[in-house]
Structure 1
């Protein structure tokens, strides 16, 4: 299983200048390669290399760096075409789709640049790296990370690492191949209902309330609005300092919630059943005040955290259809829209059971997960006469 580890570089002034100049140069050249690719109908990587490699070398790039620039451009177009085919950029002839497909892909000056082991070497004991730059090989560039991250790097780092610049600081994002634990046979399933009022509700009784996170987001939104109205230099400086703070806070909360759920499943030898919520932003219709909450909440991120933590722990995981889980009684299976009285209250019109709406939904998700798992285990071999 592939995961990434991020470390922060602590370069000296001369080293930082070399890294910054390198990123600016390779991304400027990537924009040029992108224009060539767009003009020639986005050829395959080998053909694109024939048109651009000599010029990249003449601009001072090393052989490996030139190859990575070409590959980065070709991968960007591959991703764009995949998004177009999947409809992620709108319907045919929509403004967003036409805009994306009618011009070459552009790369930001501080966009990530991939490095392989020929261009980058790690010294774990000294916590330094030796990295290729436009000024030559820059050695003894210090980096900092947690002890766990350093151990993961030492044991499992494999493949490319990306150099990025963010807020005038440099980071290396390294790819690590971590072995997955052997998956066990679950005794039961834990259903996880995801929402906004309650971020996650498990059928075991665990509930991660979203009140605190929603209040934090509202405070951040109000503060951003106030600072944006002022338009002063100090306001812009504060806005820049606070950028991505909400994103980091939400990601930390999602890590805590995911770890709690996976640890409980591992302790009880249970599997995890999740709702398939991909594309929910396109499916649901909300009033304008509710759209900020919906689009601010990391639906996919929490699910992805649960998935990769479950895979590392060997916990079985299945996805189920979320349709009618909030309207179905987990006791008698009666389905009625009126069963869901309000956001937090569920009263079954069939058997009269009263329950918390999210906990009732989590039990339905758990039952569906067990059905999906058992259906996957059923033999398709005809019975012997």
Structure 2
């Protein structure tokens, strides 16, 4: 009987363990790695089919879930439309509405053919409310037609460094032509946002518009008044949120690209195909997950020329046939080197190691002039070069010639007989 009771208890134990293992939630917090002490996140923990976390400072991809696979991007397209408008036009210009623009599907401002608007007002309509008719009006104003503006968008994408992006519409509505569908990748979308907030000459204007809570304006005729409200919930969701743009079409699903600044670090999250109705909130969950992951795991470490010089002191550099005064010895002259450059701040993940490699000439022929480059110090992070410092001679070394030796002997003899 005792044996039967023991078997029964063991059966219940294993049954309970099995049930618990099968009821663990699919979406869990990032797990800490025992090897590095940093958190890790699994692609399966995100709702988005395609996602990228990027360091805005360098463009380095910190996390990717199918980040280089092409997919429709819906109204996140409008960040490109906006930055091109800011770079190529005067915000005070008047825009006349065409029949083509006014016939765009929802979501739209409701403009009528022949109406005129100040371009700056339309940029708020574009980015806060994501109006499709506004996007077409802006495109036609800048390039004369949507087709010509399409070319402008694709040229700009190539300049930014996008690898697999193809624009057809200025508003992001699903479209296809002989070259393919309107699409991008999560990595390319993050690069475009990086350009808009860090590299574009109009970056400050872009941020000002996309951070505005609401904007009210009238057409130039003064016959109609419009009010726009910012629908980017991320701006009030996390401290340090900078900007962002939502998007949705039947083919694209919910999409989002946003940026956050914290302790001097700026991170970008790009999400494509992040759920379909009724899962509108998935994009906010994924954005919070990735931004929190970034802030907890990546921090700046400084690299200074002084660190390089300290390491270089252990490496001897000799100048053959060198002379710096005194007895003209035949032995090589040992000289010091200095590192040129400024302090660099490198964003690194917890557990990653910055490595320094010196490439320094062990022997050089005289003469050597102060400032001559004798080598280079390279810093790498996870195998990628992140900084380098030229190693320069700290002093002059002239050539030990026969004349120098004779001059030394003569002066020595004269001094002894004085």
Q: Give the structure-1-normalised TM-score.
A: 0.26
Return the structure number with greater strand share.
2
Tell me which structure has the larger Cα radius of gyration.
2
Larger RCO, structure (CA 8 Å, separation 6 or more): 1
Return the structure number with greater helix share.
1
